Amino acid sequence: MPTSSFFPFNQESETEQETTSDTKQELRSPRKYKVIIHNDDFTTMKFVIDILRQFFHKTETEAVHIMLTVHKKGKDVAGIFIRDIAETKIADVTRYAREHSMPLLLTAEPEEQHDEDKSRS
């Protein structure tokens, strides 16, 4: 048996190593989206706090801070998620708000890409 074609089990050929390196470089984190809560004249402050605690797992202090920002500035970020989760959060919260006769509006917008992510695009 020729020894030149024999590789021990714990070694990879040079081609396998290059392929593995190339594959790792192509992997990127999925784009993130900000879920935005918008102010309105009908949804109560308590309801917004409850939404933030129940659906976005915020502490009481975090929820109050976000609610006050929404009230004063018109909107604020409830959370940042990959697209599918952001869309699901919006659908779930909107459904819950309608069940409680609240017109609460949530939207999603892409999060700014970091400099290192932009250079890969």
Q: What is the pLDDT of residues 49-91, one digit of tens each?
A: 999 999 999 999 999 999 999 999 999 999 999 999 999 999 9
Domain count, the chain: 1
Tell whether 47 is covered by a domain.
yes
**CATH no. for residue 74?**
3.30.1390.10
User: How many C-beta atoms lie closer than 10 Å to residue 7's C-beta?
Assistant: 10
**Tokens at 62, concatenated:** 């975090």
pLDDT digits (tens, 9 = 90+) for 7-55: 455 555 555 555 555 556 678 899 999 999 999 999 999 999 999 999 9
Structural domain of residue 55, as residue ranges?
A: 32-113
Encoded tokens for 15:
């081609």
Asked if residue 10 is part of any domain, the answer here is no
